Chain A
Amino acid sequence: MHIARIRMLIGALLIALVLFGQDVAGMATSSGRLDPALSHADGPKTVIVVLNFTPERFHNERLARYGVFAGRDKAVNRIRLRQVTPENLARLGKLVWVARVEPGR
């Protein structure tokens, strides 16, 4: 009986890791992600989302949930998003695969 319960615990932990691990990691590292200039929470902003890699269609689709896709900013891994509300900005800050979010023009 003991072995069975230990197995279930390990199994549950592994499943939890898959389901929530990425979100938790993102939240834990969120403090460094948003540029200090963006910390005032007022109206929709334009931001540049910087990634450490070349984004795939997957990433473009996910980012499009948080703002209006407005092209690149000089490099392929710098994506401009318009009309990002403060809530969505916070969410962007918690994405573990985003390197930084800078203010845009």
Chain B
Amino acid sequence: MRRRLRSFGGLLRNVRVLLPFIVLIAIWWGIKSGFGVSDRLLVAPPAVWSSFVTLVSHGILAEYASTSLQLIGIAALVSFAAGVPIGFAVGANRYAARSLEGFLRFFQGISGIAWLPLAILWFGFTHTTTLAIVIYTLIVPIIFNTMVGVRAIPENYVLALRSLGASRLRIVRDVYLPGALPSIVVGTRLGMGYGWRALIASEMLVRQGGLGDLIFGARTFNQIDRIMVGMIVIGCLYIVVDRLLVQPVETMTLARWGVLRR
């Protein structure tokens, strides 16, 4: 009996999350019909819904959304696989850290999107261009945060383990990795936020598929309903990736190893 009540409470909480959106949609609908806003500026909720159904049943939305997800996925994997080791290598060495810190910070200020025209000149209007930009956008925070994480580990921990006779590998596994992991994960989450935006922007310019292409292309034909479907899908997908995939990893990591914070 109690379990049923608890799951009902959980369900109620989930419904409560939707309430603000229902209110927003009502306001949106009200403004659209009440003020007679032209279809060229704003489109009513039912039109957006029917456009969504159309895009799904015509097979368009699934493909564009998949392209975006695949691109961000590949970029995330590559950035992580390359960024973490580089960050470790740099963070472990005082001189390397000192020399690269300013350099990385400078490039953090140049968003990936700024390099887009150059990437287009080099790689043309292809997925390679988009991947290059998103990887650049993702890898800088990851390297940076890995570096910071490694540097924040007190020397004592390493010395303690070494005095007990631990091998290099053991030290990496038991001290460096757990110690730096919280910072790495936080950096990855930050990078994904930057990266997703860079992805959409890149897709808008490169126009080879992906959700950015979808909403930008719809602009050419003034298909406001499609633009809004695209925007909503972009938001929902980011929330799914960020809150249902990346954030739990962050929570678990911090819960387990979150002793050494910045």
Contacts and interface: CB of A to CB of B under 8 A. Distances in A.
A56 B70 contact: no
Interface stretch (A1-9, A65-73, A81-89): A1-9
Nearest to B64: A58
Contacts of B57: 53, 97
A1 B255 CA distance: 9
Contacts of B247: 7
B174 interface: no
A46 B78 CA distance: 43
| Chain B contact surface mostly | helix
A12 B245 contact: yes
A22 B243 contact: no
Given A14-B240, A18-B69, A19-B69, A5 B248 contact: yes
A18 B58 contact: no
B60 A7 contact: no
Interface string B48-83: 000000100111101101100110000000000000
Contact of A22 (B59, B70, B252): B59
A97 B58 contact: yes
A8 B244 contact: yes
B241 interface: yes
Nearest to A52: B57
B161 interface: no
A35 to B, nearest CB: 20
Contacts, number: 60
A11 B241 contact: yes
B237 A7 contact: no
| Chain A contact surface mostly | helix
B128 interface: no
A59 B237 CA distance: 24
A22 B69 CA distance: 14
Given A1-B255, A18-B69, A18-B237, A96 B59 contact: yes
A91 B91 CA distance: 50
Nearest first, the 5 closest Cβ-Cβ pairs linking A and B are A11-B244, A97-B59, A4-B248, A22-B62, A11-B245
Given A18-B69, A21-B62, A58-B60, 16 more contacts: A3-B248, A4-B248, A8-B249, A11-B245, A11-B248, A12-B245, A14-B240, A15-B245, A18-B62, A19-B66, A19-B69, A19-B70, A22-B59, A22-B66, A58-B58, A59-B58
13 contacts: A4-B251, A4-B252, A5-B248, A8-B249, A12-B244, A15-B240, A15-B241, A15-B245, A18-B66, A22-B62, A58-B58, A96-B59, A97-B59
Interface of A: 1, 3-5, 7-8, 10-12, 14-15, 18-19, 21-22, 53, 56, 58-59, 62, 95-97
